[in-house]
A and B are shown apart, each in its own frame.
Chain A
């Protein structure tokens, strides 16, 4: 898939996948398999919410407010992330795989979730919350967030500061964790952002130091 096909453009400008996903979700499966040019081209629409294409014949603005979901394995052989298996990738191969994703692109993701291989117990578990209920919960949280932004308790701020000090977390990372913690607090119906909310937000942080 080429960069114009994803972000839009071409000789007579046409909207790309990011505009087709406007107000929706764009899922890129196997992120590191995309050419680096495509991945880097995503940064501008992610930041601005629009794609602007200039041609001799005129200028086009395509809306592109989408949620980006990307999936990837932890390593080319797929063993990393599973405590029961030892990864067999060479350091060079692992580095080449991960270097496809620039720090600048990774910095634009708010949540990183490790999805371990499901175990039999999990597959046999009863289904979780249904989408309609989640939707209601999220809509309620949005209304509350519009009305008032909860503040962090002193203990929560302390936890965030000590995490920034002890964990490999960038300045941008701190801002992101604070924002995610606020969302978690509002979803939980809490009046203030408590240490537990910050702790949960920290568990979604991007691995900022990829081992090599």
Chain B
């Protein structure tokens, strides 16, 4: 594990946005190779349900990938589900991501995300207001959420049930006058009840990553890798816009040769146009 550093509230390196909230933590413990100056870089929080759906995972990941590619720092809470995918998306893009813990700085919580924390700290930072040895406890997570919202210019909620932790993060952001965005979901899904409620209250809907960039006044950079896709790839992508499919279904529906179809799917995957999970392909946003 890398050396643990600490920035106190009176230090020059303390993030200015976080200092502006009504109860900023007295200090932050940091670990990772990232410079402490990252704490003051323009950041977006991406948060959501731990037990999220495949849709939530896929949206969190591609959103984080695009925002990190546009030069924003992605902040989240290292939890399972949406949080983890947000960190992974930023890493996919070779971007910077910060993980805020709700336990002592020396702990990887959840333990299953130890490897993810290590990858985050290669270029980014893992941070906590708690000294080494502090156990994770349910009442510390809302406190952690105020730091996530406090560090970011905008908070994006990807999937959230009613009365969930991600909504607490959104509340903190609202109280501090920061931008709150929510990803619309199916109105029948309990996992989207919280996000749809945010939208009803006036949160900005996210239908593409540019929506987030525009709300921050960041000019979207057109991706240079959007090389033209082959005809099979376009045909398959068209089908995927109607919903998630397995490779076999896609090849049959689009009526392409199976060998060419699998080549086209790899082409789409490498171009970041589709995501594969458990044998199911989904179009990314």
Contacts and interface: CB of A to CB of B under 8 A. Distances in A.
Interface of A: 74-75, 80-83, 86-87, 90-91, 95, 114-116, 119, 121-122, 159, 162-163, 166-167, 195-196, 199-200, 202-203, 207, 211-212
A82 B246 CA distance: 8
Contacts of A159: 266
A114 B53 contact: no
B263 A195 contact: yes
A203 B80 contact: no
A121 B252 contact: yes
18 contacts: A81-B246, A83-B244, A83-B246, A114-B247, A114-B280, A121-B252, A122-B248, A159-B266, A167-B270, A199-B265, A199-B267, A200-B259, A200-B262, A200-B263, A203-B247, A207-B277, A207-B278, A212-B113
A114 B279 contact: yes
A88 B50 CA distance: 13
Contacts of A75: 278
Contacts of B247: 114, 203
B265 A203 contact: yes
Nearest to B189: A86
Chain A interface helix/strand/loop/mixed? loop
Contact of B80 (A80, A82, A91, A114): A91
Contact of A211 (B57, B245, B252, B260): B57
Contacts of A203: 247, 262, 265-266
Contacts of A119: 249
B278 A196 contact: no
A21 to B, nearest CB: 27
Contacts, number: 77
Q: Sorted from nearest, which 9 A-B pairs have the closest CB atoms?
A: A114-B279, A199-B263, A83-B244, A199-B266, A116-B246, A80-B278, A74-B278, A203-B262, A81-B278
B81 A202 contact: no
Contacts of A114: 246-247, 278-280
A86 B243 CA distance: 13
B246 A163 contact: no
Contacts of A95: 112
B84 interface: yes
Contacts of A199: 262-263, 265-267
Nearest to A125: B252
Contacts of B266: 159, 163, 199, 202-203
B269 interface: yes
Contacts of B252: 121
